[in-house]
């Protein structure tokens, strides 16, 4: 095979996690990534065995390794902690409430953060009062810039959700980990006009809509969903009653929609 053709094939295999490479002087040395190969074959074995790889013949050393990796992958998917960043322009109301709700409903399986493209620098008084009334600890809440989460050493995000249409249309930083993104836009309660009771009702409605969406999100069977199915679920959640703008979901990308 011509050298340039071989290099192209090897580069594709390396990107897929099936071979490893290291440089030795002017040469690049490739070798099989056995764990990556085992995960690939493990997926095929699991698929062919009706989700029960232990039913396959594991007398062969490779199949035994495959079964071990499949079981390990399942356990890590169940035990892992998902990092979620919720974005809004001002980071004073909707994204703050979503952060609080997700940290509570996530029960340690989810670690939520919130930020804004142009943060107001303070949490809206009505958002703080409502969360406090509902039993949330509000002492740690603060309005902050999304730049905090694009710096080296920031947590790698698994998901980035925008909850206001303005933030969904802005160019975001490149997030560490290239998370999956989705838009879950709802009306801004901070823009509500009228009596104090009407403003409080707007915040209560925003809380209800966010709580409904986040309840569905944390209940998703992440370990059983592939990327396409998960994106579809996130889009469905974003399109629930009360949605503003266009609810969308994307594959891992440098920016939210």
Q: What is the DSSP letter of 243?
A: B
Q: Is the dihedral of CA 66, 72, 78, 83 positive or negative?
A: negative
The structure tokens listed for 166 are 């303005």
Could you give the residue numbers annotated as active site?
88, 164, 172
- CB burial readout 28-45, b (16+ within 10 A) else e: eebeebeebbbbebbbeb
For residues 91 and 120, the answer to whether their CB atoms sit within 8 Å is yes
The torsion angles phi and psi of 144, rounded to 5 degrees, stand at -145, 165
The structure tokens listed for 61 are 């050393």
Q: Is the dihedral of CA 166, 170, 173, 177 positive or negative?
A: positive
Is 205 buried (19+), middle (13-18) or exposed (0-12) by CB count in 10 A?
Answer: middle
3-state SS, residue 186: strand
Of 101, 175, 93, whose CA–CA distance to 134 is shortest?
Answer: 101
Given the structure tokens 């990107």, which residue do they identify?
Answer: 15
For residues 157 and 253, the answer to whether their CB atoms sit within 8 Å is no
**CA distances for 211 relative to 30, 106, 203, angstroms:** 49, 12, 12
The torsion angles phi and psi of 6, rounded to 5 degrees, stand at -60, -45
């Amino acid at each position: 095979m011509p050298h340039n053709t071989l290099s192209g094939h090897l580069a594709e295999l390396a990107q897929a996690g099936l071979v490893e490479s290291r440089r030795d002087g002017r040469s690049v040395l490739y070798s099989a990534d056995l764990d990556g190969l085992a995960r690939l074959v493990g997926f095929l074995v699991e698929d062919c065995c009706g989700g029960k790889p232990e039913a396959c013949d594991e007398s062969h050393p490779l199949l035994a390794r495959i079964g071990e990796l499949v079981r390990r992958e399942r356990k890590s998917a169940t035990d892992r902690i998902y990092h979620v960043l919720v974005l809004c322009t001002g980071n004073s109301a909707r994204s703050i409430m979503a952060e609080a709700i997700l940290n509570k409903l996530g029960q340690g399986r989810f670690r939520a953060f919130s930020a804004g493209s142009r943060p107001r620098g303070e949490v809206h008084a009505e958002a703080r009062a409502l969360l406090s009334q509902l039993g949330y600890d509000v002492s740690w809440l603060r309005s902050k810039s999304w730049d905090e989460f694009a710096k080296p050493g920031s947590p790698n995000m698994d998901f980035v959700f925008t909850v206001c249409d303005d933030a969904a249309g802005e160019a975001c930083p490149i997030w560490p980990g290239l998370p999956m993104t989705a838009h879950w836009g709802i009306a801004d309660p901070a823009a509500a006009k009228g009596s104090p009771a009407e403003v409080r009702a707007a915040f209560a409605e925003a809380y209800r809509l966010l709580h409904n969406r986040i309840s569905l999100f944390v209940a998703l069977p992440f370990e059983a969903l592939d990327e396409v199915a998960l994106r579809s679920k996130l889009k469905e959640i974003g399109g629930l009653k009360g949605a503003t703008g266009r609810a969308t979901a994307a594959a891992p990308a440098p920016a939210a929609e």
